[in-house]
Amino acid sequence: MIRTVVLGFLLAVVAGAQSPSEMKYNPKADPRADLQAALTRASKEGKNVLMDVGGEWCSWCHRMDKFLTENAVLLDLLQKNYVVVKVNFSDENKNETFLAGYPKVEGYPHLFVLDATGKLLESKNTGDLEEGKGYNLDRYREFLAKFARKR
């Protein structure tokens, strides 16, 4: 298990990508600018965008980040196929105007998969991926693989 985590971390460092647990939900961030940068990068790299909506207050958001970071298979799927962008939702900044352009979010974290042009491919309630007090590896892998870019 430790080797898997270390391997995932090294993959992240070599690829120049942050792991999900290193990224933060920033109430001061501009989600439009962040998404535009992610779309530009996704277009250049032949990837989709995984937009993660949540907040630093959200225990399930932190569980999901830890789960993704500690599972090398998921981390590899993320890094090879997605540009991740986090959008803050908190009392400090709900980003309501930005999020109004997307399907209603029922709970947090919530994931949107977009292609490199910004077209919505999926709105995912992460409750569907939960199991007990964590997430189900097979369901999560299936979700990420469903939108993996064909090379």
CB atoms within 10 A of CB 101: 9
Block residue for tokens 């196929």: 81
Task: Give residue-wise pLDDT tens across range 81-123.
Answer: 999 999 999 999 999 999 999 999 999 999 999 999 999 999 9
pTM score of the predicted model: 0.85
- Give the pLDDT mean for 11-17: 39
Say which range, 22-26, 64-68, 98-102, has the weakest mean pLDDT. 22-26
Cβ–Cβ under 8 Å, residues 55 and 108: yes
Domains and CATH numbers, the chain: 2-146 (3.40.30.10)
The pair of three-digit structure tokens given for residue 114, joined into one six-digit string: 């977009």
